[in-house]
Amino acid sequence: MTRPMKTFIQCSFTLSICCLQVHLGGGIWVEEEKWHQLQRTQGDSKFTKNLAVMIWGTETLKNRSVTGVATKKKKDALPKPPLSPSKLKIVRECLYDRVSQETADSAEITQRLSKVNKYICEKIMDINKSIKNEERRESKLLIRQTVKMENFTYDGI
pLDDT tens, 24-67? Answer: 988 899 999 999 999 999 999 999 999 999 999 999 999 999 99
List, for residues 83-106, the tens digit of each pLDDT value: 999 999 999 999 999 999 999 999
Taking the mean position of all CA atoms in its chain, how far away is CA 37?
15
Q: Is the pLDDT of residue 4 over 70?
A: no
Distance CA 67, CA 24 (A): 22
pLDDT score for 73: 80
The model's pTM is: 0.75
